[in-house]
Chains A and B, each alone.
Chain A
Amino acid sequence: MLSASTLIKKIATFTLALSLPLTAIAHERFILPSHTVLSGEEVQSVSFIASISNAIFHGDKPLGDNGKGIVAPKLAPLFKRLKPIVIGPDGVSREMSWQAFSRFSVADTQLEQSGTYRIALVQPDVPMTTFIKADGKKGRFFGNKGKVPSGATNIVKRTTASRVETYVSFNEPNNAALKATGEGLELGGETHPNDLFVDETIHFQLTFQGKPLQQSTKVKVVKGATRHRNQRDEKIIETDAQGNFSLTLSQAGFYLLSANIDVKGEAGSGIDIHHHSLYATLEVFVQ
């Protein structure tokens, strides 16, 4: 385990020299909730879809399964590693059950207590090796059992971890579920993610392993329904050196916020780069 300060140093001194673009695994991931704001006296339920897809909020491949769904053999190892969790208004983390269908996974959650729920699919470190084959083409394999072909160059041992999440509030929002769990990149900050309105400045902060992210990082915000427009209209916001960033959105809708960082592996660990990504779905309402 790295101490926070060594970790910070490692991030800061990390250069891109080693890094080969992660295009092969850089598809977007998201959870789309049916509702983000609910009220009432009786228990409410919310349904979700989750997908690996570049078309924002339009499913392409499922993400998550409870063993009862339709899972392509290619995705099965990933789903085995995924941790589907819901953190309730009491701050307690519980397991969630997702079922895969051909194009997306589906889940339900009962909201029994008032407050904010955080619904997440967390992928812990997955080992991966990337390289450039003798013919100049990119190659990669997951896990530790693959073999680098002879003549390959730029061999990089990696791990990739991701956190895909969204937030739902029943009656009055609270912050217990939003507290950083300390695992990977997370979204925090002054603005509650269920209190987002058009033309109001939103203040967020990224944390890494539970501490403010000590590195200026690019955060990408994309409005849903990219499939129905010609330009993705990605908004790129740079955080300050404490992971803080602000944004104002002029249109209501569901947005996907994402960020990713590469952290250099410890000497002797056998890993060159630890890749961490965060995908958070936010709903913005009109004034």
Chain B
Amino acid sequence: MKTHLSVLPILACTCLLLASPNSLAQQISVEITIPKITTQPYHKPYVAVWIETQKRQGVHTLAFWHEQKDWFKDVRQWWRKIGRQQSPAYDQVTGATRKPGTYTLKISSKELATLKLNPGEYFLNVEAVREEGGREFIRQKITLGATEIKRYEKLGKHELGKVIISVMP
């Protein structure tokens, strides 16, 4: 019941936002752990973090760590939803692959505002693929536009460790 009620202010908010879309003042932080995998040879994984609409339309890439373009298509979900259409749009968030460890990505309210998103539910996706290794795809439904901090936690099994998503007003 409570969840239903909480939708109401968001809907109201949506109307306001249509008039002034830049007012979705939210920050997102994503903490990703790349687990240590003992194998020979070990290649650092390609990792993509991105937002999709509820209808699975690609919205924005938060990070894309990669090496060679030939293998972009192996980051399969990201490639089909964003990669293959929007190369200029993710250029600024790309970087080299990273070694095992915990990394925090932040998307500022200013940056988020440029996406002109309506409040509501989205998917935040994390995909990791390792050459001669496995692939893992984690999806988390997130709510943008809530007045309180939302925190989501997922645990990968193979190529990803803990993924913690925080959405802050």
Write the residues of chain A forming the contact surface with B, with a CB cutoff of 8 angstroms. 21-23, 26, 28, 54, 230-232
CA–CA, A108 to B41, complex, Å?
A: 33
Which of the candidate stretches B15-23, B128-136, B147-155 sits at the interface with the other chain? B128-136
- Please tell me if the beta carbons of A23 and B43 are within 8 angstroms of each other in the complex: yes
Measured as residues with beta carbon below 8 angstroms from the partner, the interface class of chain B is 10 to 19
- Please tell me if the beta carbons of B134 and A231 are within 8 angstroms of each other in the complex: yes
- Determine the chain B residues whose CB is within 8 A of the CB of A21 once the complex forms: 40-41
Q: Which residue of A is nearest B131, CB measured? A: A54
Task: Known A-B contacts: A23-B41, A54-B131. Give 20 more (CB < 8 A).
Answer: A21-B40, A21-B41, A22-B41, A23-B42, A23-B43, A26-B41, A26-B132, A28-B132, A54-B132, A230-B134, A230-B135, A230-B136, A230-B137, A230-B158, A231-B134, A231-B135, A231-B158, A232-B132, A232-B133, A232-B134
Q: Number of contacts between A and B (CB, 8 Å)?
A: 22
Write the residues of chain B forming the contact surface with A, with a CB cutoff of 8 angstroms. 40-43, 131-137, 158
- B68 → chain A closest CB, angstroms: 13
- Determine the chain A residues whose CB is within 8 A of the CB of B43 once the complex forms: 23
- A162 → chain B closest CB, angstroms: 16
- Determine the chain B residues whose CB is within 8 A of the CB of A54 once the complex forms: 131-132
- Determine the chain B residues whose CB is within 8 A of the CB of A231 once the complex forms: 134-135, 158
CA–CA, A166 to B165, complex, Å?
A: 49
- B156 → chain A closest CB, angstroms: 11
CA–CA, A230 to B42, complex, Å?
A: 16
CA–CA, A232 to B43, complex, Å?
A: 14
CA–CA, A221 to B40, complex, Å?
A: 15
- Determine the chain B residues whose CB is within 8 A of the CB of A28 once the complex forms: 132
CA–CA, A232 to B129, complex, Å?
A: 12
- A231 → chain B closest CB, angstroms: 4
Q: Which residue of A is nearest B130, CB measured? A: A232
Q: Which residue of A is nearest B133, CB measured? A: A232
- Determine the chain A residues whose CB is within 8 A of the CB of B42 once the complex forms: 23
CA–CA, A26 to B137, complex, Å?
A: 26
- B75 → chain A closest CB, angstroms: 12
- B35 → chain A closest CB, angstroms: 14
Q: Which residue of A is nearest B136, CB measured? A: A230
